[in-house]
Amino acid sequence: MMNMEFKQYRRGVLIWIAIALLTVYLPIGYYHFLNDLMQVGQFLQSSGYIGMASALFGLFFGILISRREQEAGMAECLASAPGSALRNLSKLLAWGAICFILMAIASIEVMLMIWFSGSEYLSFAYKVILYIFLYWGMTLFSCGVLGFAIGELLGQSWWKLPLVLLVWFAISPFNMLFSRYIPVNVLSWLNQGEQDLGSAYNGVEGLYLAYSFIAKKTAFLAVCLTLAFASVLIRQEREPSLKEKRTLAAAVAGCLIIFAIFVAEAKSPLSAYKAPLNNYMDLYLSQDGEYYSANGSSKTEMSPPAFEVDRYDLDIKHTLNLINYNAQMRVSHVAPSLTSLRFTLYHNLEVKQAEVDGKPARWKRDGDWLYVDWPEGKVEGDVSFHIKGSAGANNPISETSFFMSSAFPWYPVPGTWIVAEKFDLFYEPQYNHIALSKPASFHISIHANERTYSNLPKQADGTFAGQSSGATVLSGMLMDKNVGGYQIVGPPDRIDEVGSAIEKVEQTKNHLSSLLGIKAPDMPKQIMVVPSFSFFPNYYMQLGEDELFVNELITRNPYTVENIARMESVFQAFFWSNRYRINDEQNSYIFRMILEYMESPNKKGTTLSHQVREIERQGDRAPATAYLARDILQFYNNQGEKGLKRLVRAAYQLSDARTLDFSDWKKLMDRSY
């Protein structure tokens, strides 16, 4: 029976057209992308339309398959044969085989192109192939099964065509056009393609092959199979026997059960936020922005710790966009009068349980601060927490990646610190550099589907241990390489570019060091490309405790990656945000504004000039920074570049001691005159 099915495919023209189209389009598309210096991941994600074409092809082809015998006038004769009950099954199996062959051809083509172009995605071959099979192949197969059901049920009725178009639209990314009228969750589940066709590919998150997506595909396939079996039950060429009815009914029931199981698993945390947010970054920024606007930075109880943590044992599990871990800490040097230990832990990481020396302890949360009761007089002991949650915009966790920085309280950090502040100047909250005051011993176990990395030495797969003032963990579609003496972890095909940009960062850092008159911090030997933590150019880098984090956003294009070496970017990372500094975003902005002005050949296009133009535009309503910018511009016109450099150096050295305000800037400029 399968033999006959394959004959029909071979002797028909459509499958050959499909193979020809695939064979022609993929290399053309890939060549196109290579010319634009876009990489494999972006190419695959942008080829999401292939999934849509597969869906349409599958739907119509399924109708053809179901109607084949009727169109040929052979149905009645075959229906009387004993083996006829298996014909429909053999059709579906043969269709599955054809889909497999088509996807195998596509996979081979894509892998050959990756190999020819020397791409590092070769080491992620299994992911690329899985992507092709899931996004294109499974869509093609499921839609073929669904088209079969439509063909069986509607026969020769013209309603087939509008139904196919409706189904195709409903399962495409375009269905979000109706997000105002239909729940986003439903639309997101129906969408069998990319979440957002136009979105840029995130190299760290990698290809979206999360379990929830696989579950969604399986659930959709189960629905299609349900409909196919039901259609055969309802509309056979002959009346089914009791045994056949029972078998088909059992098949329908089985598929429905599979659907029920997987549809529950198919819920991605992001699907509820699909409109207007497009990705976790937007979601977290929005959440953090709201939180830190409402919970301002006026806390007065912040204080350094009155105890030390000598050791951290962290056992981390990554599921969906959350981490779930046990943190066991060895606390020592506790001040005798202390009855409560104060920690800083990002507010969205919820504490489920607390124990002191193995006994349940009372604990309390106050925003980003965590208090746990401590027996008075006890000098040392063990504290453990069970923690679950997400780590915000600065340390984004998605379904396929996560990043937790050594300069961020993703584990309880002794003392009460301001984690982030929200200023009027920026949409994004500004996160403060928070690390342990004294190095501690870390032992971390990570259970994740993707490769994991850390600033700590690797002990085994997923296990890291060592001494540090902070622990970084990073997971995603990543690889590591030594480039120019730096150990760089990043997405494939991006590491070399980052390596060459780092050399320029080193140069800029040294230049700034002499400009500001201070010794530059050492360039860490560990460089990590991490999930985007900011959309702003100034935040292309962050300095951890002993590693440098590069924002994945800037590495998407080989031309733009060099922008990390710009003065305002290097300044922000190495000379401002690299230490705990609060209420001072304004001055960071001013410094960056001046440095950008100094560096840019096009002065009129700089932030400084733009601020000055705000005075013309808004008059009295212009912000104070605009007037300061005007003064700085005048200062530059009078004193030139040297004067500006002197101003920057003096201001920076003064900012070490305290927070500057506008009058300080003005005084410094007057003094320079």
Partner 1 sequence: MDRLVIDHVSKHFGKTAALQSVSLQIGHGLFGLLGPNGAGKTTFMRVLATLLAPDSGSMRYKDIQWGKQPERVRNILGYLPQNFNVFKNISGYECLDYIGVLKGLRDKKQRRAQIETLLERVNLTAEAHKKTGHYSGGMKRRLGIAQALLGNPEIIIVDEPTAGLDPEERIRFRNVLREVAAGRIIVLSTHIVEDIEATCSSVAVIKKGIATQFDSLSKLAQEAAGHVWLWKVRPEQAVDLQSKVNVISSTTTEDHVELRVLAKESPSREAIPVSPTLEEGYLIWNQR
Partner 2 sequence: MESKVKMPSLRLDIRNMGGLFYLPFIMMLISAAYVTIHYSGYNDNQNMLKYIRHDFGVLSIPLVSIWIIGLFQDFVETKGKEAILALPYSSTHSGIMRVLRMSLLYVVIFFILFVFLVIRLLPGHQLILLSDICLPVLSVLYFAALSFLLMMIVKNSIVCYIIIGVYSIFLYMTRGAFTFGLYPFQWCFPQPNFDELRCTVILLIASVIGLYISQKIFQNKEFLLK
For residues 373 and 437, the answer to whether their CB atoms sit within 8 Å is no
Q: How far is the CB of 325 from partner 2 (least distance, A)?
A: 43
For residues 492 and 123, the answer to whether their CB atoms sit within 8 Å is yes
Could you tell which of partner 1, partner 2, none binds residue 81, using a CB distance below 5 to 8 A set by kind? partner 1
Taken as a whole, the chain contains a residue count of 673
Kindly state whether residue 73 participates in binding partner 1, applying the rule CB under 8 A. Answer: yes
Nearer to partner 2, 164 or 361 (CB): 164
Distance of alpha carbon 120 from alpha carbon 490, whole angstroms: 11
Strand order in the sheet with 486-490: 479-483, 486-490, 526-530, 547-551, 541-543
Could you tell which of partner 2, partner 1, none binds residue 224, using a CB distance below 5 to 8 A set by kind? none
Could you tell which of partner 2, partner 1, none binds residue 108, using a CB distance below 5 to 8 A set by kind? none
Distance of alpha carbon 503 from alpha carbon 562, whole angstroms: 10
Residue 485, CA distances (Å) to 2, 15, 409, 481, 488 in order: 58, 52, 30, 10, 9
Could you tell which of partner 1, partner 2, none binds residue 253, using a CB distance below 5 to 8 A set by kind? none
Could you tell which of partner 2, partner 1, none binds residue 20, using a CB distance below 5 to 8 A set by kind? none
Q: Which of 19, 79, 97, 258 binds partner 1 (CB under 8 A)?
A: 79
Nearer to partner 2, 18 or 505 (CB): 18
Could you tell which of partner 1, partner 2, none binds residue 3, using a CB distance below 5 to 8 A set by kind? partner 1
Residues at the interface with partner 2 (CB under 8 A): 13-14, 17-18, 21, 25, 28-29, 32, 47, 49-50, 52-53, 56-57, 60-61, 63-64, 158-159, 161-162, 164-165, 177
For residues 331 and 309, the answer to whether their CB atoms sit within 8 Å is yes
Could you tell which of partner 1, partner 2, none binds residue 35, using a CB distance below 5 to 8 A set by kind? none
CB under 8 A: which stretch of 72-80, 217-225, 493-501, 511-519 binds partner 1? 72-80
CB under 8 A: which stretch of 81-89, 163-171, 279-287, 620-628 binds partner 1? 81-89
CB under 8 A: which stretch of 22-30, 170-178, 237-245, 398-406 binds partner 1? 237-245
Nearer to partner 1, 18 or 564 (CB): 18
Q: What contacts 388, CB < 8 A, 6 or more positions away?
A: 322, 323, 324, 325, 349, 350, 352
Q: Which of 24, 28, 81, 177 binds partner 1 (CB under 8 A)?
A: 81
> DSSP of 194-239, one letter per residue?
-S-TTSPP-TTT-S---HHHHHHHHHHHHHHHHHHHHHHHHS-SSP
Kindly state whether residue 1 participates in binding partner 1, applying the rule CB under 8 A. Answer: yes
DSSP code of residue 2: H
Nearer to partner 2, 22 or 474 (CB): 22
CB under 8 A: which stretch of 238-246, 408-416, 505-513, 635-643 binds partner 1? 238-246
Burial track 492-511 (b if 16+ CB lie within 10 A, e otherwise): bbbbebbbebbebbbebbee
3-state helix, strand, coil in the chain (%, to 5): 50, 15, 30
Could you tell which of partner 2, partner 1, none binds residue 17, using a CB distance below 5 to 8 A set by kind? partner 2
| Size of site (CB under 8 A) for partner 1 | 26
Distance of alpha carbon 304 from alpha carbon 413, whole angstroms: 10
Nearer to partner 1, 244 or 506 (CB): 244
Nearer to partner 2, 49 or 371 (CB): 49
Distance of alpha carbon 9 from alpha carbon 3, whole angstroms: 10
Q: How far is the CB of 231 from partner 1 (least distance, A)?
A: 18
Distance of alpha carbon 29 from alpha carbon 216, whole angstroms: 28
Distance of alpha carbon 195 from alpha carbon 399, whole angstroms: 13
Could you tell which of partner 2, partner 1, none binds residue 7, using a CB distance below 5 to 8 A set by kind? partner 1
Kindly state whether residue 234 participates in binding partner 1, applying the rule CB under 8 A. Answer: no
Q: Give which of 312, 318, 311 is closest to 446, Cα–Cα.
A: 318
Indicate the SS3 state at residue 62: helix
Distance of alpha carbon 70 from alpha carbon 76, whole angstroms: 8
Could you tell which of partner 1, partner 2, none binds residue 53, using a CB distance below 5 to 8 A set by kind? partner 2
Could you tell which of partner 2, partner 1, none binds residue 161, using a CB distance below 5 to 8 A set by kind? partner 2
Nearer to partner 1, 10 or 458 (CB): 10
DSSP code of residue 134: I
Nearer to partner 2, 28 or 37 (CB): 28
Indicate the SS3 state at residue 637: helix
Q: Which residues bind to partner 1, rule: CB under 8 A? A: 1, 3-4, 7-8, 11-12, 68, 72-74, 76-84, 87, 237-239, 241, 243
